[in-house]
Structure 1
């Protein structure tokens, strides 16, 4: 696990100096505190042959495998292929055996060296053979090109800025901004997307011209320009109709093998343990494959509704792990400036706060931690899928759908509290007349289309493009073809919410502390298997993860399977009325914020007034606005 950055250029006026490369690399020293490495070569004119582009590669290393070797940038034998990469290739041992059989000679025991040798044989097609989490840059001297690739599920980030005869890239946006000629102009459309999803969807970023390589994509830069293509195209329309016994056996084998591969390390290794089904299953598989107690880590909070440590403790005792439990009192005032700096883009998932704390505490004991991320998307575990299923049932009853969608429902009185049953029923009824995918966006968005219209000033609306934030979710939803609504929703989450929110949150919070986080559920073999399962194997009678319970039911206590699902959150609602009240009001209603011309003052005041009076829980919306304002002060105003 590391951090990478660099550039390639065909125009000598756009060269990146060795000094600038070091500045770019220093920006992400937290990602790799163990070592640094560089490759810098100026553009070479070879008349009458085409010029060889200039290249700069910078690497910060967090040593996990082959501690003594594996220094990057790493080259093949004749130094015509160089690579730097962030992440892990979990099937590197199998690939190495194949490559040695083909005549390649290895000088290290690292997974990095498999990249250069497989690239020699396969070119950019090499990415299709990697089972891992990665952001990779490959410099090909013979072909005069720079090749970039990102893993299939977007576990590792990769930003880039292509302009004229140069491309600049990095694991974090701040590495690009270390170059003074990379623009810092906010993209209004990205703000619209951010306030819809609580993140900026790929391939866009908050800044104009700067992009994120999407999961499963590769990019090739040469004197012909930049070419981006998708190398992983799973068929989400396919449904596996094999007998249940065969599916169960394959799930057991795939899951345990995914865990086994992610237990490879030459440094101390452990696991996050929340006490939920997914992290508990990961730990149970680890313990079955280990000859010593697995180190597990849980974090607790004073507020009972946010504390899962009792469940984690129960699982740890059942499995016999070496359990570490930390009690923290989260302080938003203390952690907010750190989050704003590390996350580069505004990201309004407040669970970044507990993720930060558990990563910080875990790093004190181990360098690698496995987690249960991905289980909810793959096996329909989110509670919101109940509404999706109910909506689909109503869609099949045309007259009832018209009644539920009628304006009469909107006139019913209800509490202003966001989670009151009547308000939830009214919100469901408001959305039921929509198409299923539009309805789902209305349910999961921070500011839905109506609220965004009330929030934006006329001047800001005039800056927006004709693009609709809905298109991001719609295209993901429709990749599933005519499959059921819950499958469409969960697989849309897998390719949108998971990489853009959850994976980003975990990557930044863990790497800020030099901790590598591995996610067995995101082994692409397991993902492709789970995506093809019929919904009846995952979801029954309003509950998801049914196949997990059938296959792995004996691995966990019954209470863990039956416990209600809890979010990994913090008490924003309370904080905004107490600890964060002054910061919130001073930030959102400041002259600086209002002068930006983005949001209507009266709408922002209404959100604040309703929340402070306890009339409505606007905490997620207020958090999104606060993060955006503080981000602008850190990265734009400075």
Structure 2
């Protein structure tokens, strides 16, 4: 687990100096406090392969495997293939055995060396063989090109910028921003998407000209031609015809092997334990695979509605773990600047706050933590999928269903607390006139299309591109073809919400605290299995995760299987009427904020007034606006391209 940065150029006028490369690498030192290294070579006009482009590779290391020998950048024997790499290749031992059988000689025991030797043999097809979480950069001297690759489910981030013959890349945006001349021009379309989803979807970033490499893709650039190619394309339209017994057996085998692979480490290792089904199953499986008590970590909050520690404690006692429980009183005033600095672009998932705290406290005891991320997307665990099922049944009623929805809108209140039953009912009825994909976006949006239109100024509306933020979700939704809408929603979340929100949130919070986080549910083999499962093996009796319970029901207490799902969140609603009220008002109503020209001042004041007067819970929307403005102050105001 590390941080990477670098540059490639074919003209001496666009060279990135060794000093700047070091600055890029140092800007992400928090990702790798144990070691650092750079490889820098100016463009060569004469050489065995003709004109050789300039290359710079930088690395910050958090040592996990082969503590003594895993230094990067790392090259093959004749130094025609160099790599820097962030993440873990969990199947590196089997790949190494195969490569040694083919005659390759290894100098280290690290997973990194597998990358250069496999690239020698397979080229870009090497990415298909890696089972892991990774962002990889390869300098391929023989073909005079730079190659970037990202893992299938987007667990590790990778940003890049191409201008003329120069390519810059980094694990975080801040690395690219260290290069003189890189502009910080905000993309209006990215703001529109951010206020829709609470994150900026790939391949966009908040800045024009800088992009995210999408999950499951690799990039090649030779100074003239840029290609982004997807190497992972499972067929989302096909369902497996599996009996329940066969599905259970395959799930147990895949999940057990996934956890086993993620226990490889030469440093202390533990697990996040929320007391939910997914993290509890990870811990239960860890217990089966190790002779030592599993170290588990959970955090609790003073507000009962946001505290899961009693469930985590129940699981810990049931499994006999070495449990560490931290009681935290979140200090939003203290933590906000840290979040804004480390999340280089606006990210409005407020669960980044508890994720930060649990990462910080876990790092005091271990260097690696396993988590349960991905289980909800793969096995239909979110409560919102109930609405998807109900809506699908109403759709089958045709005109009668639409009439019932219109009646519901007239009798249900439009205001009130965001999560109240009546408010949810109104939103459900309101969206029933839309297509299934559109209504799902309406349900998950921070600001839906109508609210964004009411918020934006005329000048900002004129700057927006013709493309609709909906297209990001729709492209994912339609991949399932004619399958059940529940499958469409959950698999759309798998390729949108999971990589762009959840994985980003965990990666940044964990790596800011020099903690590696591994997610067994996101083994691509397990994902491919779950993608093919029909909804009947995921959803039963109005609840998701049916197959998980059928396969692993005896591993956890019944109370864990039967408990109501609780989000990993913080009481924004209360904070915005209490400790954060002054910061919220002073920030959003400041001259700097209102003069940016994005929003109508009256619309911002209305959101604040309605929330203050408890007419409506606008906390998620206000948090998104607050994060956006504070991000502007940190990353744009006062910064001029050199």
What TM-score does the superposition give when structure 1 sets the normalisation length? 0.99
- How far 1:427 moved relative to its partner? 1.1
Q: Does 1:474 align with 2:466?
A: no
Superimposed CA distance per residue, residues 385-433 of structure 1 (whole angstroms, 9 cap, x where no aligned partner): 0000000111111022220343772465465222332222121111011
Q: Does 1:307 align with 2:332?
A: no
Alignment-derived partner of residue 154 in structure 1: 154
Contact 2:343-2:508 within 8 A present in 1 as well:
yes
> Structure 1's 408 and 242: CA in aligned 2 closer, same or farther, altered over 3 A?
closer
- How far 1:378 moved relative to its partner? 0.3
Cα distance in 2 for residues equivalent to 1:89 and 1:420: 44
Aligned pairs for 1:259-338 within 5 A: 259-338=259-338
Contact 1:3-1:61 within 8 A present in 2 as well:
yes
Higher mean displacement: 242-251 or 318-327: 242-251
Alignment-derived partner of residue 543 in structure 1: 543
In structure 2, stretches of 5+ residues that fail to align are: none
Cα distance in 1 for residues equivalent to 2:275 and 2:568: 11
Alignment-derived partner of residue 88 in structure 2: 88
Superimposed CA distance per residue, residues 516-558 of structure 1 (whole angstroms, 9 cap, x where no aligned partner): 0000000000000011001000101210001000000000000
Contact 2:408-2:429 within 8 A present in 1 as well:
no
DSSP 3-state at the match of 2:211? strand
Contact 2:394-2:401 within 8 A present in 1 as well:
yes
Higher mean displacement: 38-47 or 444-453: 38-47
> Structure 1's 614 and 164: CA in aligned 2 closer, same or farther, altered over 3 A?
same
Aligned pairs for 1:375-386 within 5 A: 375-386=375-386
Q: Does 1:598 align with 2:598?
A: yes
Matched positions, count: 638
Aligned pairs for 1:578-597 within 5 A: 578-597=578-597
Cα distance in 1 for residues equivalent to 2:415 and 2:142: 68
DSSP 3-state at the match of 1:386? helix
> Structure 1's 149 and 415: CA in aligned 2 closer, same or farther, altered over 3 A?
closer
> Structure 1's 52 and 404: CA in aligned 2 closer, same or farther, altered over 3 A?
farther
Q: CA RMSD in A?
A: 1.1
Contact 1:340-1:634 within 8 A present in 2 as well:
yes
Cα distance in 2 for residues equivalent to 1:481 and 1:326: 45
Q: Does 1:433 align with 2:433?
A: yes
Cα distance in 2 for residues equivalent to 1:361 and 1:544: 31
Alignment-derived partner of residue 100 in structure 2: 100
Alignment-derived partner of residue 349 in structure 1: 349
Superimposed CA distance per residue, residues 268-324 of structure 1 (whole angstroms, 9 cap, x where no aligned partner): 000000000000000000001010100000001111111101100000010011000
- How far 1:143 moved relative to its partner? 1.1
Alignment-derived partner of residue 453 in structure 1: 453
Q: Does 1:494 align with 2:506?
A: no
Cα distance in 2 for residues equivalent to 1:581 and 1:72: 47
> Structure 1's 572 and 76: CA in aligned 2 closer, same or farther, altered over 3 A?
same
Alignment-derived partner of residue 78 in structure 2: 78
Alignment-derived partner of residue 246 in structure 1: 246
> Structure 1's 327 and 451: CA in aligned 2 closer, same or farther, altered over 3 A?
same
Cα distance in 1 for residues equivalent to 2:124 and 2:107: 23
- How far 1:103 moved relative to its partner? 0.3
Contact 2:412-2:425 within 8 A present in 1 as well:
no
Alignment-derived partner of residue 361 in structure 2: 361
Alignment-derived partner of residue 570 in structure 2: 570
Cα distance in 1 for residues equivalent to 2:69 and 2:213: 29
- How far 1:226 moved relative to its partner? 1.3
> Structure 1's 270 and 408: CA in aligned 2 closer, same or farther, altered over 3 A?
closer
Contact 1:410-1:430 within 8 A present in 2 as well:
no
Superimposed CA distance per residue, residues 237-277 of structure 1 (whole angstroms, 9 cap, x where no aligned partner): 11010222111111000000000000000000000000000
Contact 2:31-2:62 within 8 A present in 1 as well:
yes
Alignment-derived partner of residue 616 in structure 1: 616
DSSP 3-state at the match of 1:46? coil
Cα distance in 2 for residues equivalent to 1:410 and 1:202: 38
Q: Does 1:190 align with 2:157?
A: no
- How far 1:349 moved relative to its partner? 0.1
> Structure 1's 228 and 304: CA in aligned 2 closer, same or farther, altered over 3 A?
same
Contact 1:401-1:433 within 8 A present in 2 as well:
no
Contact 1:81-1:138 within 8 A present in 2 as well:
yes
Cα distance in 2 for residues equivalent to 1:415 and 1:132: 45
Cα distance in 2 for residues equivalent to 1:25 and 1:451: 41
Contact 1:404-1:432 within 8 A present in 2 as well:
no
Q: Does 1:170 align with 2:170?
A: yes
